Amino acid sequence: MYFFLGALSAVEVAYTLALTPRMLAGFLLPPGGQAVAPSTCAAQMGLFVALGGSECLLLAAMALDRYLAICHPLYYPQLMTAGLCWVLLACSCTGGSVLAVGLTSAIFQLPFCHGGLVNHVFCDLPAVLVLACGNRKLQEYVLLVACLLLLVLPLFLILLSYTRVLVVILGVGDAAGRRKAFNTVASHLTVAVLHYGCATAMYSRPLSSRSLEEDKLVSLIYINLTPLLYPAIYTLRNRDMQGALQRAISQRTSGTAHQAKLT
């Protein structure tokens, strides 16, 4: 579990570094923004899709890890080996990178109108695609297929695995064991719902029904707010972290009380 949490943290850090600094710099620019070279825009889009896609697949791998740990605890050490963890991580990163290259290449093959303004906080796929002058039906279909592969299918597998996990949790063990197992999966399920919910609302709609102003608002939520919530979700529901916080608070309280007595 901690191996995948470390990988998820690394992906989130890279994801934030690829988008947030340039977005903050854009807020300091005068109205009208600044000209961006197509290569720079393509690089940012590619990094965004690669890291976001890797996170989608990594969350599915984490669901598989929790499923094996709870539903097959006796076989878990033999099934979820260190080698398999690295293979799942490599497959997640490779899958996200392949889709990023395909999507970015498909969009930037189109001719773009001169003087087009990217009405967004970064070079997002729909915001750039609406600037294309040629026929973009194929690119729209490619974007919808990518959403199916990165969002709908992994989310379906996660919900399916956690349905089985909840059945196992409620069917066996005592109350303490059920509470421990539920706390373990609740954090990951909360993160999955936040990530897939925002991404699905953002990318599963056709261009004709989009509002770029609404897209910018949703983007600000999943670029900045959601990554800030992840550490709190995992920390506050983790038993080891709860124990460490309780020990730190108790030591500080006892130290304050001892100092008060000396005073």
Does the structure show a pLDDT above 90 at 257? no
Q: Which residue carries 């973009």 as its tokens?
A: 136
The pLDDT value recorded for residue 88 is 92
Query: pLDDT confidence of 32, banded at 50, 70, 90?
Result: low
Residues 192-212 have a mean pLDDT of 73
Cα 172 to Cα 30: distance, rounded to the nearest angstrom: 62
Query: pLDDT confidence of 115, banded at 50, 70, 90?
Result: low
pTM, entire model: 0.77
Half-sphere exposure of 175 (CA within 13 A, CB side): 0
Retrieve residue 115's tokens: 């003087």
Structural element, H or E, at residue 208: none
Domains of the chain, residue spans = 1-239
Which of 168, 204, 164 has the alpha carbon at shortest distance from 56?
Answer: 204
Residues 240-262 have a mean pLDDT of 68
Residue 14's alpha-carbon distances to 8, 91, 113, 199, in angstroms, are 10, 18, 31, 18
Tell me the three-class secondary structure of 97-163, residue by residue.
HHHHHHHHHHHHCCCECCCCCCCCCCCCHHHHHCCECCCCHHHHHHHHHHHHHHHHHHHHHHHHHHH
Cα 182 to Cα 172: distance, rounded to the nearest angstrom: 12
pLDDT in tens, 2-16: 888 888 888 888 888
- 234 and 5 in contact (C-beta within 8 Å)? yes
| Domain 1-239 is found in CATH 1.20.1070.10 | yes
Residue 166's alpha-carbon distances to 56, 90, 162, 197, 239, in angstroms, are 22, 29, 6, 21, 19
Does the structure show a pLDDT above 60 at 123? yes
**How remote is the C-alpha of 134 from its chain's centroid?**
32
pLDDT in tens, 134-180: 777 777 777 777 777 788 888 888 888 888 888 877 776 666 666 76
